[in-house]
Structure 1
Amino acid sequence: MTSPYDIAIIGGGNAALCAAMTAAEAGAKVLILETAPKAYRGGNSRHTRNFRCMHSGPLGPLVESYSEEEYFADLMKVTAGKTDEHLARLAIRTSEECLPWMQEHGVRFQPSLSGTLSLARTNAFFMGGGKSLVNAYYRTAEKLGVDVLYEAAVTHLQLDSDRIAWVDYTHAGQSHRISPKAVVVASGGFQADTDWLTRAWGEPAKNFLIRGTPYNRGVVLADLLEQGVQSVGDPTQCHAVAIDGRAPKYDGGIVTRLDCVPFSIVVNKNAERFYDEGEDTWPKRYAIWGRLVAAQPDQVGYVVIDAKSLNLFMPSVFPPLKADTIEELAVMMGLPADKLRATVEDFNAACGDTSNFHPTELDGVTTTGITPAKTNWARPITEPPFYGYSLRTGVTFTYLGLKVDDTAQCSTKDGPIKNLWAAGETMAGSILGQGYLAGYGMTIGTVFGRIAGREAAAYAN
């Protein structure tokens, strides 16, 4: 029951590493318990590309400025107001100081990517992507004296009144118990447990794909909720995007995302359009498409574009289907050919003047006379060859999590738990009630990881 460690951090992704480095710099002896093998360390952070950052002027790779109010307005659009404004603004405001901190801890940035992302002003891209960020942080943590156990699956945290008394985990076929002074939970959501997803969503969840790590199964989250730790969020809300239907069940990552929706029409298996593909720029709206596809028959959708749109977006890792006619494409995708032809013709007839078409801005090039309308980038699909992708719901992380305050501390109904903090996806539902904003998960993890590490170290010391 004794432990040489002041702080145990559960999880091995961005939030956990930010907490570990911050606590170690404050003089605490830190142990990271990472369920995944070393090659798969880092949770969903391995698959990230960028960090959404407020800044009052040019900062690192970021150009111009991105104010707190604009950032918050962007968040309100995608969450429809379902957010804790105090915590959201804390994350936004603190993000500006995080970028230089990230650089000091080994992260390198690159100029933003071109195409439909268009995030040069708002999002700082990691050189080498999320895997490089994770590796850099592990190197820095090691230099700071942080110990890491891989394939260490935490099974139970014993809540004794207002404190965590011990942590149980398995490693190398053995059961272990330690009693650190403080604990930080940064072990993500429950999305890789498809049985839990199905209990929340119903049978459609069996058709979902999991974009991220197969190791985020919500074991620690469930354990703490069963003991009365306060929760936040809706189990059916999650960061869910439309991904290539050919993606693997788990761990397909960012390369399976499809950015072509704004330049396409999207139909269901009956070859019917069901939503405005041009509602907003992709970084602000892409996360709604997972839920839209989930609501369609068999939880599947199909993208149709023509030759003039093929090079306007970042390609998926899988090449599109290609055909000389709409009917041929329909057969390849398993859609009713006559119905898809009619849908495309109706859409084409509803398109008007396209002279103001601008692929990276809201251009007002809209349809008239059809439902749903397409409100931007509405160009006729007329130029062969024609291309198609299948879409499935790809869940990144779930929003049911641990409720925290602005010091990242967890509580029961009776008050704060003295030595328990949470950071990252396991508490992101405190801020993300629904929807998602590109790069904001990394912002939440970085800000609250640093806060949790600071507070845990102060308590332990």
Structure 2
Amino acid sequence: MTTYDIAIIGGGNAALCAAMTAAEAGAKVLILETAPKSYRGGNSRHTRNFRCMHMRPLDPLIEEYDEEEYFADLLKVTDGKTDENLARLAIRHSEECLPWMKERGVRFQPSLTGTLSLARTNAFFMGGGKSLVNAYYRTADRLGVDVFYEAHVTHLELNGNKIERLDYTRDGVDYQISPKAVIVASGGFQADTEWLARAWGEPAKNFLIRGTPYNRGVVLRDLLDQGVERIGDPTQCHAVAIDGRAPKFDGGIVTRLDCVPFSIVVNKNAQRFYDEGEDVWPKRYAIWGRLVAAQPDQVGYAIIDSRSLNLFMPSVFPPLKADTLEELAGMMDLPVEKLTQTVADYNAACGDTQNFHPTELDGVCTTGISPPKTNWARPIIEPPFYGYSLRTGVTFTYLGLKVDDHAQCSTTHGKIQNLWAAGETMAGSILGQGYLAGFGMTIGTVFGRIAGREAAAYAN
């Protein structure tokens, strides 16, 4: 049996970045991916872009996006709940990552239309996340990295300050290996809906899981139970508003709804409950999962008119369409009189719309209504009218392994000599709450590379 210097648990972006980096440093690397080959890549399969600092135009990115602006954007969505040192480390290193990614087969394209102000901040993958994952697997294969699919890691044996053994099952057979170093890059626990419900309460059973059904937190729980230091709140997660018709698992990016800034959003009682125009969508879209989660039955409904239909990226499901608001209310099982009154009150609160500009904060707002709408507030008056149902879609959870700036894990007794973590499983160190579009890929890429480098140096 092959002896491995490094075992990497997980098969997504962070795991692959770690694997390539370690292999390039001369280490013999094994990736243990729980999913079958056709589902390899974790949540990275569903990503579209990478948020990247740059001081001048860089490949598809225009103008500049410096460290201070990037960090300010992060502070806004996390409300300051971040480890500044680790956050700035991720931001600062993102600039060097983009050419590194290209060298390993990733191709980029200009930002997609309807993505609201991302051309300067986010580099889009040509072919999406699945193309990125496939490119990395091809590169890893050329570097001699071995990959075992449907390999279910069940336990890491921590003895003192060292991982002594790794247990996994594959094809019904139990295995034990003792690599010199281990990197955990196996995501959060969001696919374990019972764990979600223990953290959130019963409403969590109504949540949809946008990403892979294989991220159940088995290794995370195993390590936390052995005293590995944790970070993050189990009720905090990257949760967005997605189409209510999405599947329970793995609906991915195409189920996300980007219509909120140009709509009013109501609950099942046809009442608005938050400012739909609070900020440009890449900075604010992740708050809507939690907002919808707080509503009765964990559902919401976005209402737009024909003028707004082409202002945002469409979901995989077409909206409901009606010639009147009354008809639309009936189709959505909303109280007819209440919805028409809510829309009438909103329309009456809208003012001058001459400065309406769909891709930037335009100050076109309501007056005399609560909650206000502070941007893109146009009356909903032009038939046909359209509606989407909204549900909470969880991408990944923020409870994870605490790491230092070398991506190394610890217990209360000190550093674990041969254990590192990267990607969603440690992102709670940086994302205390909220989310910034494309930042998960930044964290995974930067800390995957760091973990791969550090583990290889230790193994060698």
Distance 2:329 2:136 in 1: 47
Q: Which amino acid aligns with 2:24?
A: E
SS at match of 2:285: helix
Q: Is the 8 A contact 2:49 2:441 kept in 1?
A: yes
* Runs of 4+ with >2 A deviation: none
Deviations 1:411-457 (A, max 9, x none): 00000000000000000000000000000000000000000000000
Please name the residue that 1:139 is paired with.
Answer: 138
Please name the residue that 2:45 is paired with.
Answer: 46
Distance 1:137 1:324 in 2: 48
Please name the residue that 1:110 is paired with.
Answer: 109
* TM-superposed deviation, 1:280: 0.3
Please name the residue that 1:238 is paired with.
Answer: 237
SS at match of 1:272: coil
Deviations 1:323-348 (A, max 9, x none): 01001000000000000000000000
Q: Is the 8 A contact 2:7 2:179 kept in 1?
A: yes
TM-score (normalised: structure 1): 0.99
Distance 2:54 2:302 in 1: 36
Q: Is the 8 A contact 2:196 2:204 kept in 1?
A: yes
Stretches of structure 1 that go unaligned for 5 or more consecutive residues are none
Q: Which amino acid aligns with 1:384?
A: P
Distance 1:230 1:386 in 2: 51
Distance 2:154 2:55 in 1: 44
Distance 1:13 1:441 in 2: 12
Alignment of 1:103-252 (within 5 A): 103-252=102-251
Q: Is the 8 A contact 1:107 1:133 kept in 2?
A: yes
Q: Is the 8 A contact 2:398 2:431 kept in 1?
A: yes
Q: Which amino acid aligns with 1:114?
A: T
* Greater mean alpha carbon deviation, residues 379-388 or residues 3-12: 3-12
SS at match of 1:167: strand
Alignment of 1:10-159 (within 5 A): 10-159=9-158
Q: Is the 8 A contact 1:158 1:167 kept in 2?
A: yes
Deviations 1:341-370 (A, max 9, x none): 000000000000000000000000000010
Q: Which amino acid aligns with 1:166?
A: R
SS at match of 1:396: strand
* TM-superposed deviation, 1:118: 2.4
SS at match of 1:353: coil
Deviations 1:278-321 (A, max 9, x none): 00000000000000000000000000000000000000000000
Q: Which amino acid aligns with 1:441?
A: G
Q: Is the 8 A contact 2:116 2:358 kept in 1?
A: no
SS at match of 2:286: helix
Distance 1:105 1:412 in 2: 35
Distance 1:60 1:352 in 2: 41
Q: Is the 8 A contact 1:3 1:180 kept in 2?
A: no
SS at match of 2:369: coil
* TM-superposed deviation, 1:115: 1.4
SS at match of 1:298: helix
SS at match of 1:158: strand
Q: Which amino acid aligns with 1:380?
A: P
* TM-superposed deviation, 1:3: 5.8
Deviations 1:203-235 (A, max 9, x none): 000000000000000000000000000000000
Deviations 1:249-293 (A, max 9, x none): 000000000000000000000000000000000000000000000
Q: Is the 8 A contact 1:3 1:179 kept in 2?
A: no
Please name the residue that 2:318 is paired with.
Answer: 319
Q: Which amino acid aligns with 1:107?
A: V
Distance 1:175 1:269 in 2: 49
* Greater mean alpha carbon deviation, residues 107-116 or residues 71-80: 107-116
Q: Which amino acid aligns with 2:148?
A: L
TM-score (normalised: structure 2): 1.00
Please name the residue that 2:438 is paired with.
Answer: 439
Please name the residue that 2:253 is paired with.
Answer: 254
Distance 2:373 2:363 in 1: 9
SS at match of 1:446: helix
Percent of pairs identical after alignment? 85
Distance 2:379 2:163 in 1: 61
* TM-superposed deviation, 1:116: 3.7
Distance 1:30 1:326 in 2: 59
Distance 2:35 2:101 in 1: 24
Distance 2:41 2:309 in 1: 33
SS at match of 1:157: strand
Alignment of 1:396-407 (within 5 A): 396-407=395-406
Q: Is the 8 A contact 1:209 1:249 kept in 2?
A: yes
Distance 1:98 1:304 in 2: 40
Distance 1:116 1:55 in 2: 19
Q: Which amino acid aligns with 1:36?
A: A
* TM-superposed deviation, 1:385: 0.3
* TM-superposed deviation, 1:114: 1.5
Distance 1:184 1:60 in 2: 31
Distance 1:60 1:139 in 2: 23
Distance 1:397 1:118 in 2: 24
SS at match of 1:330: helix
Deviations 1:142-193 (A, max 9, x none): 0000000000000000001000000000001100000000000000000000
Distance 1:315 1:117 in 2: 13
Q: Is the 8 A contact 1:14 1:45 kept in 2?
A: yes
Q: Is the 8 A contact 2:54 2:65 kept in 1?
A: yes
Distance 2:355 2:5 in 1: 61
Please name the residue that 1:354 is paired with.
Answer: 353
Distance 2:82 2:338 in 1: 41
SS at match of 1:156: strand
Q: Is the 8 A contact 2:116 2:360 kept in 1?
A: no
Say what the alpha-carbon RMSD is for the aligned residues: 0.6
Distance 1:309 1:188 in 2: 36
Q: Which amino acid aligns with 2:134?
A: N
Distance 1:6 1:443 in 2: 26
Q: Which amino acid aligns with 1:259?
A: D
Distance 1:69 1:294 in 2: 32
Q: Which amino acid aligns with 1:318?
A: F
Q: Is the 8 A contact 1:284 1:438 kept in 2?
A: yes
Distance 2:114 2:75 in 1: 24
Distance 1:455 1:403 in 2: 16
